[in-house]
């Protein structure tokens, strides 16, 4: 079974709270989301689930592809859409003022590079805590994880990984999920 460094997870939560000035007696990430609920709701109002029924989303913050979440079918992505948008919006707070105007073709090329790296990444399968297998992906510039059940990828999360840059529970912020997956792949 894959293991994560829980101390690093709590460290990421504490760092997120410090950056945002969140006061929390429990030090829970939930408090960060509660404190920023209005801004996160605005992001959710703007970024609605697309009508063309996609199965995945690539997150771009300040012109940089940071992660991708891919699901088995549109209904699964739709069920997680709100949580994903909120986590991406929270992640983008660290990039406020770093706006970039890039052409759509540049953004698409960046997204395609991230997605294509998954095919060449090394893969290691573990028993999942529930159904299926937990497959971890590692490459010099990518880490990821996938839940595979009955030979179908239910959810895959891919993260750009650059050097020593830097996840908590599923669907937490992209940088937090990246750190957690990097720690597992380093063990």
Domain boundaries along the sequence of the chain: 6-186
The CB-side HSE value for 27 (13 A sphere, CA atoms) comes to: 9
pLDDT at residue 158 in the model: 94
The two structure tokens encoding residue 88: 């991406």
pLDDT at residue 169 in the model: 36
The neighbour count for residue 115, using CB atoms within 10 Å, is 17
For residues 71 and 81, the answer to whether their CB atoms sit within 8 Å is: no
pLDDT at residue 122 in the model: 93
- Mean pLDDT, the chain, integer: 77
- List Cα–Cα distances, 111 to 40, 60, 108, in angstroms: 24, 8, 5
Low-confidence ranges of the chain (pLDDT < 50): 98, 164-171, 184-185, 187
Cα 102 vs. chain centroid, distance in angstroms?
22
For residues 84 and 49, the answer to whether their CB atoms sit within 8 Å is: no
């Amino acid at each position: 079974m894959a293991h994560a460094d829980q101390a690093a997870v709590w460290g990421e939560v504490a760092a997120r709270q410090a950056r945002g000035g969140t006061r929390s007696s429990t030090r829970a990430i939930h408090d960060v989301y509660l404190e920023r609920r209005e801004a996160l709701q605005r992001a959710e109002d703007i970024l609605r689930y697309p009508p063309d029924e996609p199965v995945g989303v690539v997150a771009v913050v300040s012109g940089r592809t940071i992660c991708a979440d891919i699901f088995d079918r549109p209904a699964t992505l739709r069920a997680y859409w709100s949580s994903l948008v909120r986590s991406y919006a929270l992640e983008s707070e660290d990039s406020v003022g770093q706006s970039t105007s890039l052409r759509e073709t540049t953004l698409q090329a960046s997204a395609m590079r991230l997605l294509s790296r998954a095919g060449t990444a090394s893969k290691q399968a573990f028993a999942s805590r529930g159904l299926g297998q937990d497959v971890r992906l590692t490459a010099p510039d990518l880490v990821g994880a996938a839940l595979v059940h009955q030979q179908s990828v239910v959810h895959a999360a891919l993260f750009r990984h650059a050097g020593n840059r830097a996840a908590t529970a599923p669907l937490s912020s992209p940088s937090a999920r990246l750190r957690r997956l990097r720690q597992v792949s380093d063990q």
